[in-house]
Structure 1
Amino acid sequence: MSKKYFHNSVNTIDANTVNFSPDFKNLNVLSLFSGAGGMDLGFQGDFDFLGTHYEKNPFSLVFANDIFKQAADVYEDNFNHQVERRSVDELTFDEIDHQIEKNTNKPISEVPIDVILGGFPCQTFSYAGKRGGLSDPRGQLYRHMIRIIEHYNPKMFIAENVDGIRNSRKNDKGDKIERSALDIILDDFDKAGYNVQYNVLNSADYGVPQTRRRVIIMGIRKDLGDISDQFYPAVSFDETGLFTGKMWKTSKDGIDDIWDKVNSPTIANHTTRDISKAKFYPGKRTQGNNKIDANRPAPTIRAEHHGNIEAHYRSYDGFEPDDMQGWRRLSVRECARLQSFPDSFIFTTSASSAYKAIGNAVPPVMAWNIARSVAYTLSQLEN
């Protein structure tokens, strides 16, 4: 399980207590596999979620990339720059440079890349998928992230993937291998000139009303520091509240206030058109054929649910809780809430594409915590 790179005693910092001096310069971020921008929104900061303001972070987004057209459309409608829509394995450095210059209105020589982000495709490693691992061509795309890292030589990179990557054991020939996909990937990042480590973060531990475990790989350029110089965000919520003083946020915390506001003109992505009409099947144990629990964080919002998104914990008036005739599936906005997207973030696409974009995203609130720890790490290196 990648013992070389995994440390139970990783350095942590409380993201909510991090402050930066006025002369700390904004760090330029190049984002790959950006999707609708969950990770990027967290790095940007300056948004509100469930009554908390997540202040602006010292990062400037200078490049984004994704081949999912509808997600790229959503990104462009919520951020102030264009998305390069070619697959990362087709991207040339000239194309990236050109897009950076368009987004910043500066020559590329004046835009050093400080941080590279990349949630390379996870379906091939997911427990919910076919587990093709490195034998799936999508499992090889991380190598193009490395290609881009080697060219731009950032101070740090952050890569995100599903927890299943730790147990995926197929190589690019489809053969079973002794080392996990994660071991191989970490070794390749190390060879690219970075001291790397990983940690498994659960979004519920950071105030997201959803349990979502993700491997977060952190790499720092070897001439700048070691893994002992890196910081992950400290846990700020826990299941019982005994450890942190704050219990996990529940589904009810996240979405209860908009249950009866479907078609309200003040709430985007919460109309009858934004709710999957897929049927429920009594007595069958099929994907999404169940309600979420009001008093627990929601289960992981999936990208490939094919319309079978879970049901709301409430039932329509006049129906017993177990009567599926009174159930409705979660709306796009409710899924976005459970992923910690602010209500000001609008999904300007069809419901089916919006569900997928949300399910593929990194929860912005968890990303905000990661961003603060990355900025803190780099600020300490400059002292």
Structure 2
Amino acid sequence: MSQSYYMENVNRINAEKVKSNSKKYNVVSLFSGCGGMDLGFNGGFTFLGKKYDKNPFNIIFANDIFKQAADMYEDNFGLPVERRDIKELDINKNFPNKPVDVVLGGFPCQSFSYAGKRKGLSDLRGQLYLQMIRVIDHYKPKMFVAENVDGIRNSLKDKDGQNVDTSALDTILKDFYKHGYNVQYHVLLAADYGVPQMRRRVIIMGVRKDLGNINDEYYPLQTYDADGTKTGRKWLTAKDAIDDLWDKVNKTAIPNQTSRDISKAKFYPGKKMQGNNRIAADKPGPTIRAEHHGNIEAHYRTTLPDRNDMRGWRRLSVRECARIQSFPDTYNFTASASSAYKAIGNAVPPVLGWNIARSIYYTLSQLESKKNESDDISS
């Protein structure tokens, strides 16, 4: 792959040490879901006793066609969500007439996911990144951030459904590059940033070519590792995240921890199937997937002495899934359990989003300092 739009060794910044000022950057959010990435960009929340400060970003537009996710977004953010298919939106009429600094977009991942049919770019959902490019072409933001599953790196079907040697990710990076942005990607593991989950996501970052190159872009520095030898902080485990909720079903003011928020799907002894197992207590949780719906995994605790007796198992609650995804307890999933499970599984972990947001802010600050120095020299 050409070094003009890809770099293996990326710049890193410790997001927790980045200080923000009063300047606000306008953000357009596409494929927003229930707002995991957007919550990270807003900041100003607490997760497992750790405070994540406000970030200098102002989200002025959000879009998603999943009605229940849009409802939850509006209930928690107070920002109206444009609910029509992004392909049907008129760029001049349906989007804000304001300057935009950053465009966010977790374009649909089902066609690239290992859990799906792997249709890649031949699936129309796999081509929705082109709608993100359409919005970027209109606003010409300073930067954009796109997110997708790790499987996009080896999805090898082109738009005609033919097997090819070029991955979907390569094609997408080239298209962003052609539209005026120096781009790169990196795979981030959520557990490395204080999320109690083994979730890997490809994060694509682009900076407008007239402002800088990929050497000017910063990704968040890893701040947690498996045993703490590298960073001084161990990965958070499922037990760290949810142990206090086990005996609080219907007994807490924390939302989404009632009997109505727990799937009643049966377990099947001796069968290997989705969700027919318990998570481990002493490790980060598994990836919470939108496809789980009712077949979410079981809690590591049981109500019977025989831990293998499935009659003592219960599935993870909506709140427990939200904790594993790093949503603060103040976020209320105002929907049925089925819709909430799906929205949580589709989301970017807010704590990961917060780390990304801080690195984007730092990158923007560095770009502006560089421009000011250049202006001083030329004046």
| Pair 1:179-2:160 in alignment | no
Aligned to 1:227: 214
Show structure 1 runs of 5+ residues with no match.
101-107
1:285 to 266, 272, 295: 272
Q: How does 1:40-55 map to 2 (within 5 A)?
A: 40-55=38-53
TM-score with structure 2 length normalisation? 0.95
Q: Does the 8 Å CA contact 1:231/1:376 hold for their aligned counterparts?
A: yes
**What does 1:125-164 align with in structure 2 at a 5 Å threshold?**
125-164=112-151
Contact 1:63–1:96, Cα closer than 8 Å, also in 2: no
Q: Secondary structure at the match of 1:248?
A: coil
Tell me which residue corresponds to 1:302.
289
Calculate percent identity across the aligned residue pairs: 67
Amino acid paired to 2:86: V
Partners of 2:142 and 2:86 lie apart in 1 by 21
Amino acid at match of 2:163: K
1:6–1:199 contact (8 Å) kept in structure 2: no
Q: Deviations over 1:177-200 (max 9, x none)?
A: 110000000000000100000000
> What is the CA distance between 1:95 and its match in structure 2?
3.6
Deviation at 1:9, TM superposition (A): 1.8
Deviation at 1:21, TM superposition (A): 3.7
Cα displacement (A) at 1:306: 3.5
Mapped partners of 2:164, 2:93: distance in 1: 36
Give the C-alpha shift of residue 319 in structure 1.
3.4
2:248 and 2:73 map into 1 onto residues whose CA distance is 26
Q: Is the CA contact 1:319–1:325 (under 8 Å) kept in the aligned structure 2?
A: no
**Alignment partner, residue 361 of structure 2:** 375
Deviation of the 1:27 alpha carbon: 0.2
| Per-residue CA distance 1:359-383 (angstroms, 9 max, x = gap) | 0000000000000000000011111
Contact in 2 for aligned 1:29/1:113 (Cα 8 Å): yes
Say if 2:20 and 2:55, in contact at 8 Å, map to a contact too: no
Give yes or no for the alignment of 1:366 onto 2:364.
Answer: no
Which residue of 1 is the match for residue 372 of structure 2? none
In structure 1, distance between residues paired with 2:251 and 2:325: 21
Residues 2 and 91 (structure 1), Cα distance of their counterparts in 2 relative to 1, 3 Å cut: farther
1:194 aligns with 2:192: no
SS of structure 2 residue aligned to 1:253:
helix
Please say if residues 297 and 315 of structure 2, whose CA atoms lie closer than 8 Å, have aligned partners that are also in contact. yes
How does 1:68-87 map onto structure 2 within 5 Å?
68-87=66-85
Equivalent position of 1:105 in the other structure: none
Matched residues, number? 369
CA distance in structure 1 between the partners assigned to 2:131 and 2:70 by the alignment:
19
Deviates more, 1:259-268 or 1:111-120: 259-268
**1:151-185 deviation per Cα after TM superposition (whole angstroms, max 9, x unaligned):** 11000000000000000000111110110000000
| Among candidates 7, 30, 33, match of residue 32 of structure 1 | 30
1:91 aligns with 2:77: no
CA contact (8 A) 1:2 1:183 kept: no
The equivalent of 2:323 in structure 1 is: 337
The 4+ residue runs of structure 1 with deviation greater than 2 A are 1-8, 94-97
Counterparts of 2:8 and 2:92 in 1: how far apart (Å)?
A: 41
Question: What SS does the aligned partner of 1:340 have?
Answer: coil
Q: Provide the secondary structure at the position in 1 that maps to 2:357.
A: helix
1:315 is matched with 302
1:10-62 alpha-carbon deviations (Å, 9 max, x no partner):
0000000001244xx10000000000000000000000000100000000010
Q: Give the deviation of 1:94 after TM superposition.
A: 3.0
Q: 1:284 to 1:4 in 2, by over 3 A?
A: farther
Name which of structure 1's ranges 229-238 and 259-268 shifts more when overlaid on structure 2: 259-268
Counterpart of 1:56, as a letter, is K
Deviations 1:81-114 (A, max 9, x none): 10000111111113433xx3xxxxxxx2xx3100
Going from structure 1 to structure 2, the CA distance change for 1:229 and 1:74 (only over 3 Å counts) comes to: same
Structure 1 residues 325 and 2, CA, compared in 2 at 3 Å: closer, same or farther? farther
Matches of 1:96 and 1:342 in 2, distance apart? 31
Matching residue's letter, 1:218: M
- Aligned residues of 2:45 and 2:53 also touching (Cα < 8 A): yes
SS at match of 1:93: coil
Work out which of the residue numbers 169, 189, 202 in structure 1 matches 2:156: 169
What residue is the counterpart of 2:377 in the other structure? none
What residue in structure 2 maps to residue 104 of structure 1? none
Residue in 1 that maps onto 2:20 = 20
Report the CA distance shift for 1:89/1:323 in structure 2 as closer, same or farther (over 3 A).
same
Change (3 A) 1:131 1:380: same
Work out the CA distance in 1 between the residues paired with 2:93 and 2:2: 35
Alpha-carbon shift at residue 320 of structure 1 (Å):
1.2
Q: For 1:71, what is the secondary structure of its paired residue? A: helix
Match in the other structure for 2:259: 272
Task: Give 1:340 shift.
Answer: 0.2
C-alpha separation in 2, matches of 1:21 and 1:344: 26
Alpha-carbon distance in 2 for matches of 1:56, 1:161: 25
* Structure-2 change in CA distance of 1:165 and 1:2 (3 Å): farther
